[in-house]
Amino acid sequence: MSNRIIIFTAVLIFAGFSFASDANKPDVEQIVQKANLAAYYQADDGKAKVTMTITDKKGEIRNREFVILRKDIADGADQNYYVYFLRPADVYRMVFMVNKHTLPDTDDDRWLYMPALDLVRRIAAGDKRTSFVGSDFLYEDVSGRNLAEDVHELVDSNDSVFVVKNTPKKPDSVEFSYYTVRIDRRTSMPMRMEYFDKTGRLYRIIESLQVKDISGFPTVTKSKVSDLNSGSSTIMEFSDVQYNIGVGDIFTERYLRKPPADVRR
């Protein structure tokens, strides 16, 4: 009996220590989860007009413009994206639709609608670290990297930021050896991400250049990715951002073929 009391007391004491240490040094998993929610899951749904300006090392510029609609199935979990392209002219009215899945080893479902052919194509899921619409943003930057794919370490913190180092659990599946994220303590927004290659050299930076409060939700309205290897960079700007607009069940073949009125207004 007395043994049991001792063990019980010991458990309580250790538990108390661990609570105390949580108070001093916050749990890194909580930090990255909050950052993930801030960056990809604000409100229950949202809509924005997105412009991308891609500048290559020679200074030549290409533009992308699309309307994006998002609806979350659950915070931090699955969500749906609907992307309606406006520019460049050769992809005008094309639609890209994603059912994002966050369960481990579950690929996203992706569709592309090509209006000139009235063709609904299923896109074979693949490497998420390939360019999104030819920009320096990768598919994974836009849709969010699954938290479970990395080991997270809090490497630095001060009054305004946390710095988290993320090391992939499957190093062979990605081109980086690790990346660091500076997270704003107040908004939980990732403000700067630095990617290091297999030799430990910095080769890629994503910066949040402008964060605005929209309907009470901190929102990155301007961000930039710089590829130090290729000398190319892309600026992505969000305008007409709206939250909780009541995005309906538009993630279906019906709306792939004939977009909802929402995307055009």
Partner 1 sequence: MNLFCGKHSGTVILNKAKRSEESIINTKTRFFVRLRRTQNDTRNSFLQGDLNFKAALLWMVLFSSTVSGIDTGLKISDSPVEMHGFYEARAGYRLRNDRHQKDMSIMESRLQLDFASYPEWGDLKFKGDVVGDLVLEKFDFQTREAYIFTRPADNIDLTVGRQILTWGTGDLVFINDLFPKDWQSFFIGRDDEYLKAPSDAAKISLFSDTVNLDIVFTPRFNSDKFISGERISYWNSGNLNIEGSNAEKYVDKPDRWFRDYELAARLYKNINNYEYALYAYHGFWKSPGGERADGQVTFPDLNVYGASVRGKIGKGIGNLEIGYYDSADDRGGKNGSVNNSEIRYLAGYKQEIGKDLTLGLQYYIEQMLNYGDYLANLPSGPARDEFRHLITARLTKLLMNQNLRLNLFAYFSPTDKDCYIRPNINFKATDNLALEAGANIFFGDYPNTFFGQFRYNSNIYTAVRYSF
List of residues contacting partner 1 (CB under 8 A) = 54, 56, 60, 62-63, 87-90, 92-93, 99, 107, 109, 116-120, 122-127, 130-131, 133-135, 232, 252-254, 258, 261, 264
d(CA 260, CA 265): 10
Give the pair of three-digit tokens for residue 63: 């533009």
Give the pair of three-digit tokens for residue 264: 């055009």
The least CB distance from residue 226 to partner 1, in Å, is 14
Residue 38: helix, strand or coil by DSSP?
helix
The least CB distance from residue 203 to partner 1, in Å, is 16
- Residue with smaller CB distance to partner 1, 9 or 252: 252
The least CB distance from residue 36 to partner 1, in Å, is 24
The least CB distance from residue 253 to partner 1, in Å, is 7
Q: Which residue has the tokens 């510029």?
A: 61
The least CB distance from residue 48 to partner 1, in Å, is 19
The least CB distance from residue 90 to partner 1, in Å, is 4
145-154: long-range contacts, CB 8 A cutoff, minimum separation 24: 146/102, 146/104, 147/32, 147/33, 147/36, 148/102, 148/104, 149/173, 152/28, 152/29, 152/31, 152/32, 153/28, 154/25, 154/26, 154/28, 154/31
d(CA 49, CA 83): 10
Environment class of 75 (CB within 10 Å of its CB; exposed 0-12, middle 13-18, buried 19+): middle
- Residue with smaller CB distance to partner 1, 60 or 159: 60
Give the pair of three-digit tokens for residue 108: 């996203």
- Residue with smaller CB distance to partner 1, 176 or 243: 176
- Residue with smaller CB distance to partner 1, 56 or 149: 56
- Residue with smaller CB distance to partner 1, 118 or 213: 118
- Residue with smaller CB distance to partner 1, 161 or 197: 197
